[in-house]
A and B are shown apart, each in its own frame.
Chain A
Amino acid sequence: MLRERRVGLLQGLSYRGDLSMLAWVLHRVTGLGILILVGVHVIAAFHLHSIGGDVSAAITAWYESKPVQVFVYFCVLYHALNGLRVVIEDLFPPLLRYRRELLWLQWLVFLPVFGLPAFFMIADIVRGTV
């Protein structure tokens, strides 16, 4: 739906797309997030060791900052859990009948496992004790 650009994101999510489409969108966004952040990490480390200087030090400081770490945690955890659900569905196709329940279960696991550490990390950011 979203890929063929006939409907917008919110329109798709509120009509037939709902949880499945949200999972698909978030899987892409979080996958891209991991790819960009890990790629930047590898290239910045390479640059820091081969050339050195302020640019790679600044990039390193950016991806080691707390807000970026909260984003990395979101990306890695969501991508891991959603990927696990996809693998389980592909291995046992009869489970696709319970797809909505699996998606709800996934959110039920994701929200506390992401929320609790993220709460403390965001509290650190707000208090300024990074």
Chain B
Amino acid sequence: MRSRYPKPGSALEYYLWLFVRLSAILMLLVGAFGIAYANLNGRTQMDASAQYRWSFFPIYWHVQNTDIPDVFPNWSNAFWRVYAMILVVIAAIHGFNGLRIIVEDYVQHSIRLLFAKGLVFVLFLFVVGAATVIIFELF
């Protein structure tokens, strides 16, 4: 369980450790409210994938299959786009930080570790960039 505790003397590790906990609580709350909201509002096709989409973030292409009223004025505005973007960035930092910790556990050689961590960072930038393009419809 070493990876659950920060290495002493590293402020960045401590803040990332704290961030993982805080973002975990935030995402649990977001997911719980999303599922409750989905099951109060959604009307059709409330299958598992619709509930996943609602519980992560309810932007219009995530909710339109469930036949809720007024998808376009209510679910396609700037509020839900910014909300989605914030959530994607928080989730991506949480997830790729976890991947970095796994990589640090299994890659011993220092040059390979540097390369692997660089690859993790590039993947992080790519996924966040792709998400930005989708959320703000920049294509």
Contacts and interface: CB of A to CB of B under 8 A. Distances in A.
Contact of B134 (A32, A49, A84): A49
B82 to A, nearest CB: 17
A73 B51 CA distance: 10
Contacts of A72: 48, 52
A28 B91 contact: no
Interface residues of B, number: 29
A7 B105 CA distance: 16
A34 B102 CA distance: 14
B1 A24 contact: yes
Interface stretch (B8-16, B21-29, B36-44, B71-79): B21-29
B106 A46 contact: no
B83 interface: no
Contacts of A64: 49
Contact of A34 (B2, B4, B95, B133): B95
A110 B102 CA distance: 24
A90 interface: yes
Chief secondary structure at chain A's binding surface:
helix
A39 B127 contact: yes
B95 A38 contact: yes
Interface in A16-42: 20, 24, 28, 31-32, 34-35, 38-39, 42
Chief secondary structure at chain B's binding surface:
helix
A62 B67 CA distance: 24
Interface string B53-97: 000000000000000000000000000000000001001000110
Contacts of A80: 27-28, 31
A56 B88 CA distance: 21
A3 B127 contact: no
Nearest to A64: B49
Interface in B84-118: 88, 91, 95-96, 98-99, 102, 105-106
A43 B21 CA distance: 26
Nearest to A89: B4
